[in-house]
Amino acid sequence: MNYLSPDMLYDHNYSIKVVNALRRFWADGHDSFSSIGEPKAMHMILYLDSCEAEYTLKDGRKLYAGSGNIVYAPKNSEYSVRFFPIDGGSTVGVNLFFYKDGEDFSLSDDVLIFDTDFPQDVKRFEKLCALSSAALSSPAKMKSVMYDILADIGYFERSKALLNNRFSVIEKGISYLENDILGNLTIGEIASMCSVSEIYFRRLFKEYSSLSPSEYRIKVRIKKAKEFLKYENLTVTEIAERVGISDAAYFAKLFKAKVGLSPTEYRKKKRK
């Protein structure tokens, strides 16, 4: 089995197949589930809606999940779980498969608990249930909603990792450079955003990414430009503007220096 760590769900290319989504209400005497002896055939993403849960893994370890948490149970996993509903609480379980480069992958061998508690999660899981139960289901819509959920999990895990290590002091700057492709703040201004000196920000960022902040900004812009060239019918000038470079000639020169092909050559090659 191949693996992709949860934090990579935000910025890596992968595909999913959503099988179904089901809301289940739990009550005394009907509050448990077990896959011990019957490994799960699919991955499951479970949302706890006004409900808590105690998971017991095959090796005896226990995990606890609270209301609003999201639980990942991997394909082939074996565990038992007991649910503790709060005021008629329920769970929404989504069965799915993961694929990367045409092959199955998993996020882990064991159950994972994500304590994201995003306010929009309730509506997203409710929408998945509605789409799954519709007379004419839409796999595309179900996948769209699920990708949003997975991207949020990935972003949350990535941010959590940053906050728990030595790069936490520049987390705002990292996030800015990764997400604001049109951002025109100077490196000094980004350093001020993090309340550190520009020299310190540059040094720490280089340790984090192996690139200088300016090199990283170019890398992000070139990556986005590749997507536009491959999938959109935009002119080179329009693409340059969309990635925050006002001079189309400079953009074309920079693109060729980094990719080895001009934007036009790259588009032709990728669209063959």
Whether 230 and 203 map to the same domain: the answer is no
Mean pLDDT of the chain: 90
Separation between Cα atoms, residue 11 and residue 178, nearest integer Å: 10
Whether 32 and 108 map to the same domain: the answer is yes
Q: What is the mean pLDDT of residues 60-74?
A: 93
Whether 95 and 18 map to the same domain: the answer is yes
Three-state SS string across the chain, please?
CEECCHHHHCCCCCEEEEEEEEEEECECCECEEECCCCCCCCEEEEEEEEEEEEEEECCCCEEEECCCCEEEECCCCCEEEEEEEEEEEEEEEEEEEEEECCEEEECCCCCEEECCCCCCHHHHHHHHHHHHHCCCCCHHHHHHHHHHHHHHHHHHHHHHHHHCCCCHHHHHHHHHHHHCCCCCCCHHHHHHHCCCCHHHHHHHHHHHHCCCHHHHHHHHHHHHHHHHHHHCCCCHHHHHHHCCCCCHHHHHHHHHHHHCCCHHHHHHHHCC
Q: How many CB atoms lie within 10 A of CB 69?
A: 19
Tens digits of residue pLDDT in 167-216: 889 988 988 998 888 888 999 999 999 999 999 999 999 988 889 999 99
Whether 21 and 113 map to the same domain: the answer is yes
Lowest-confidence region among 50-54, 71-75, 85-89, 124-128:
85-89
Whether 44 and 78 map to the same domain: the answer is yes
Whether 34 and 137 map to the same domain: the answer is yes
Distance (Å) of CA 270 to CA 35, 252, 261: 45, 17, 11
Which CATH number characterizes residue 144's domain?
2.60.120.280
pLDDT at residue 29, rounded to an integer: 57
Using DSSP, state whether 49 is helix, strand or coil: strand
Using DSSP, state whether 139 is helix, strand or coil: helix
Whether 90 and 205 map to the same domain: the answer is no
Tens digits of residue pLDDT in 247-267: 999 999 999 999 999 999 999
Whether 30 and 143 map to the same domain: the answer is yes
Whether 83 and 99 map to the same domain: the answer is yes
Whether 191 and 226 map to the same domain: the answer is no
Whether 150 and 206 map to the same domain: the answer is no
Domain tally, the chain: 3
- Domain span including residue 248: 216-270
Report which residue type is found at 95: N
Whether 180 and 53 map to the same domain: the answer is no
Tens digits of residue pLDDT in 33-50: 899 999 999 999 999 998
- What's CA 165's distance to the chain center, in Å? 20
Q: How confident is the model at residue 61 (pLDDT cuts 50, 70, 90)?
A: very high
Q: How many CB atoms lie within 10 A of CB 148?
A: 15
Domain end: 160, 184, 199, which one? 160
Separation between Cα atoms, residue 147 and residue 14, nearest integer Å: 10
Separation between Cα atoms, residue 130 and residue 133, nearest integer Å: 5
- Given a cut of 90, whether residue 98 has pLDDT beyond it is yes
Which CATH number characterizes residue 255's domain?
1.10.10.60
